[in-house]
Structures are given as C-alpha cells and as structure tokens.
Amino acid sequence: MHFDELIVGAGLFGAVYAQKAVEAGHKVLVIDKRDHIAGNIYTKKVSDIDVHVYGAHIFHTSDKAVWEYVNRYAEFNNYINSPVAVYGDELYNLPFNMNTFSKMWNIKTPAEAKAKIAEQIADLHITEPKNLEEQALSLVGRDVYEKLIKGYTQKQWGRPCTELPSFIIKRLPLRFTYDNNYFNDRYQGIPVEGYTAIVEKLLEGATVKVNEDFFDLRKTGKLSDGTEVTYDKLIFTGQIDQYYDYQFGPLSYRSVRFETEELPEENYQGNAVVNYTAADIPYTRIIEHKHFNYGTQKTTIISREYSSEWKPGVEPYYPVNNEENNALYEKYKALADQEENVVFGGRLGQYKYYNMDQIVAEALACAKGAGL
Ligand code: UDP
C-alpha cells in the first residue's frame, strides 16, 4: 500500500497533521506503538470518570486560532487550574500569588510581599539568574523557594535546582494579586468528552494502526500483518535520537509513573491537583481526576505521580533541556535539517517542553509549510 504520508505517533502533533493532510485529499497512514491512540493526552473512562492516564492535561492557550481549531473537535468546560501545594502540615495556593505570600508571611498587601521577598534575597545580589535556583530565589525569595520549589523540582527533574535551566520555573505565573489561576492564558478548559475523543475526530479519514513499531516497519518495509507499506513523506513524532540510532549518544528524558486507585468516597482531596513539595514525600503530586470535570460520581479515582529518569522500555515524557542535552539535540537537528521528506514533530521529535497548544500551533504550521 502506498501513502502520501506516514505519520508515526498518534498523539496530538500527529493527529493535527493527519487532519490537515486528509482534508487536502491525501492518503494518510498513522501508526502508534501503543495499543491506543492519543499519545500522552489519552483519557479513558473508568467508573464513569475520565482518567488522564498519562498525567493531568489542562488545555490553555492565548492563541485564538488554536482555541478555535480545537473547539471544532470538542466542547470544552470552564475548568480553571488552581492547584494547591502541601509542605509538611502546611498548605499553600499556587501559582505563587498573594494567597501564597499571605499564608507564608501573614501579610496582606503586595507592597508587604515585595518587601519580604526583597529582604530575603538582599544578600544574594543576583543580577542575571544563571540557573533555576537563582531564578526562583530572585522571583519569590528564600521561604517560598525552600518550601514550594526546591524539593518538588529536585523530585521532578532528578537534578539539583542549580543544574537546571531557569526557564522551567518561568512556566509558572508570579502575581501580586489574589488570583489562583495557574495559567495566564486567555482560554482554558478540559474537553467534556475527554481528549481521546478529540484525537479520534482528528484522525477521521486516515488509516490508523496501533501496536505498530516504526522501527520494525523501517527494517522490513511491512506492517505486523505483512502489508507492504511505502510513502512519500514521513512525519515522525518519536524520539529523534532513537530515529538516528543514538549515533551521537542518548538524549535525557524524564519519565513519570502513576499509582492509580479507585476509592470508595466522593471527594478525596477537594481539588484536581495537589502538589507535594517536600523532598521526603516520594511522589510529586496527586491527581483526583473527577474534579477536572466537576464529577459527582459516588467513588473517586486518584493517581500518585512519581518521577524518574527515562531508560529504554519506559515512556519518555519530558525532555531535559539543560545545556548538555540541548547541544546534543542540535547535532541530531543538523541531520534532521538535511532530510527532504521527513518532518520531526512533538515533544520527542523536537526535544522541547511544549504545552498542548504549542503542539497544535506547530503541527498546523508544519502542515501549512508543506502546502496543506
Ligand atoms: N514547580 C515547583 N513547585 C510546584 C509546582 C511546580 O517548584 O509546586 C516547578 C517545578 O520545577 C516544575 C516547574 O515548576 O518542573 C513547572 O511546573 P509545571 O506545573 O508547569 O509542570 P508540568 O505540569 O509540565 O509537569
């Protein structure tokens, strides 16, 4: 069978690209090595609750075109992410805002909060933050850094904050208002029918095969059922280092593991996301899935999230964008830039810590660049 495009990975990037290619009348094959579509945004109904199987996904964007595009494929609710952080027996609002500072220091006004932060970093003389620790200290002061950032970040990334890039902490808003919205974006929500339903719709009209390993196909030219496959263009959303047989050495990724259980109670923690920021608690956060959809089911499902270094055989989730890995990625990218008929997309293909809206924007731009 001959296809105009072979898309490797049925996640968000691959699905958006597929939608554009099908719309243009192309014959598209999408394969995924897992036994389901939707990549890491896969959601699955369990006891009538949409479970975010690969971790919490909250769609947020300021890009109107992206928002309108995803709304063609799903109805979104009005969920606003407002996580809380537990440190020992203390509980704080996130992101870092006046509720956090007020509870931390028993103060009320933005001026008092700013004075407190300035006092805590006066002796550090940080002019240009060189790493995540310096960035965090200069933004929020020592108390917030020690209680809400240091332990969480080291668990999440498996590296000290002094060895991590400062951009990671700048993902979070810092506000001197009493506003617990975790994002600054104009549009935000969770698809009422889950993310898998969006991807299903995006993939309509494409041939989709799950349980198919691209590297087997590359070797044999055949799908697992023996069908011979040829194609004009490849859209690859897997790991770029694996595509090139790790020839310059492996890139680092972080993986996460979830311990999920159903509990015979209606409301376990009162919030969709509760972060555990102390270093001595082994998980980083607990997700209570029903709260993403204001669920009223009689039971609840929770997932404890544990972070680990990626190794072959587990799923990669996050690129580790420190200097060393970025330099290594540039070597792979130089090879990718020479390819005429291969597009690398998504978090793994482009080795970038993308949010979902950025993935949609990238995929639309790539498709447009290809004349779709
Ligand atoms: N972070 C933190 N404490 C928290 C939440 C986040 O220090 O309670 C830091 C941590 O370094 C994390 C980064 O902020 O990796 C970005 O957090 P985000 O919630 O954007 O991470 P994601 O949801 O993508 O895992």
The rounded Å distance from CA 170 to ligand 1 centre is 9
Total of domains in the chain: 3
Q: Are residues 218 and 247 in the same domain?
A: yes
Q: What backbone torsions phi and psi does residue 321 show, to the nearest 5 degrees?
A: -85, 55
Say if residues 214 and 238 touch (Cβ distance below 8 Å): yes
CA atoms within 13 A of residue 267's CA, in its CB half-sphere? 7
First to last CA, the chain: 22
Peptide bond into 95 cis (omega under 30): yes
pLDDT tens, the chain, 372 aa long: 999 999 999 999 999 999 999 999 999 999 999 999 999 999 999 999 999 999 999 999 999 999 999 999 999 999 999 999 999 999 999 999 999 999 999 999 999 999 999 999 998 888 899 999 999 999 999 999 999 999 999 999 999 999 999 999 999 999 999 999 999 999 999 999 999 999 999 999 999 999 999 999 999 999 999 999 999 999 999 999 999 999 999 999 999 999 999 999 999 999 999 999 999 999 999 999 999 999 999 999 999 999 999 998 899 999 999 999 999 999 999 999 999 999 999 999 999 999 999 999 999 999 999 999
Measured distance CA(206)–CA(22) in Å, rounded: 7
Measured distance CA(252)–CA(257) in Å, rounded: 17
The edge-to-edge listing of strands for the beta sheet with 342-344 is: 207-210, 28-32, 2-8, 230-236, 342-344
The number of the ligand 1 atom at minimal distance from the alpha carbon of 164 is 11
Reading the block at residue 265, the tokens are: 């109670």
pLDDT, residue 76, reads 98
The rounded Å distance from CA 307 to ligand 1 centre is 12
The rounded Å distance from CA 169 to ligand 1 centre is 7
Reading the block at residue 266, the tokens are: 């209606």
Measured distance CA(285)–CA(194) in Å, rounded: 21
Say if residues 315 and 255 touch (Cβ distance below 8 Å): yes
Greatest distance between any 2 Cα atoms in the chain = 69
Residue 83 lies in a domain: no
Q: Are residues 72 and 164 in the same domain?
A: no
Q: Which domain holds residue 151?
A: 89-168
Residue 84 lies in a domain: no
pLDDT, residue 123, reads 84
CA distances (Å), origin 221, targets 32, 218, 225, 227, 303: 16, 6, 11, 8, 40
Q: Are residues 328 and 200 in the same domain?
A: yes
pLDDT, residue 21, reads 98
Q: Whose CA is nearest to atom 15 of ligand 1?
A: 153
Q: Parallel, antiparallel, or unpaired: how do β-strands 253-263 and 300-309 relate? A: antiparallel
DSSP H or E segment with residue 357: helix 356-369
Q: Whose CA is nearest to atom 10 of ligand 1?
A: 153
- Cα–chain center distance at 309: 16
Say if residues 138 and 126 touch (Cβ distance below 8 Å): yes
Q: Are residues 343 and 365 in the same domain?
A: yes
The number of the ligand 1 atom at minimal distance from the alpha carbon of 156 is 15
To the nearest 10 degrees (0 to 180), the angle between helices 64-71 and 356-369 is: 90
Residues with CB under 6 A from ligand 1: 85, 94, 148-149, 152-153, 156, 168-169, 171-172, 275, 277
The number of the ligand 1 atom at minimal distance from the alpha carbon of 153 is 11
SS (H, E, C) 229-264: CEEEEEEECCCHHHHCCCCCCCCCEEEEEEEEEEEC
Q: Are residues 204 and 221 in the same domain?
A: yes
Counting ligand 1 atoms within 8 A of each CB, the residue from 82, 149, 257 with the most, and so the one to mutate, is: 149
Residue 181 lies in a domain: no
Q: Whose CA is nearest to atom 3 of ligand 1?
A: 149
Reading the block at residue 253, the tokens are: 């990724």
Q: Are residues 105 and 228 in the same domain?
A: no
Q: Are residues 73 and 93 in the same domain?
A: no
- Give me the residue label for tokens 């595009």: 69
The number of the ligand 1 atom at minimal distance from the alpha carbon of 148 is 3
- Cα–chain center distance at 121: 31
pLDDT, residue 13, reads 98
Q: Whose CA is nearest to atom 23 of ligand 1?
A: 56
The rounded Å distance from CA 153 to ligand 1 centre is 7
Alpha helices in 78-192 (DSSP H): 98-105, 110-121, 132-144, 151-157
Q: Whose CA is nearest to atom 11 of ligand 1?
A: 153
Say if residues 47 and 262 touch (Cβ distance below 8 Å): yes
Q: Are residues 244 and 323 in the same domain?
A: yes
Q: What backbone torsions phi and psi does residue 315 show, to the nearest 5 degrees?
A: -85, 130
Counting ligand 1 atoms within 8 A of each CB, the residue from 100, 172, 286, 306 with the most, and so the one to mutate, is: 172
Q: Are residues 193 and 290 in the same domain?
A: no
Q: Are residues 234 and 132 in the same domain?
A: no
The rounded Å distance from CA 191 to ligand 1 centre is 23
Residue 284 lies in a domain: yes
The rounded Å distance from CA 353 to ligand 1 centre is 12
The rounded Å distance from CA 208 to ligand 1 centre is 34
Residue 349 lies in a domain: yes
- Give me the residue label for tokens 């690859």: 236
The number of the ligand 1 atom at minimal distance from the alpha carbon of 83 is 8
Looking at the chain, how many residues does it have? 372
Q: Are residues 302 and 337 in the same domain?
A: no
The number of the ligand 1 atom at minimal distance from the alpha carbon of 132 is 11
Measured distance CA(263)–CA(301) in Å, rounded: 6
The rounded Å distance from CA 278 to ligand 1 centre is 13
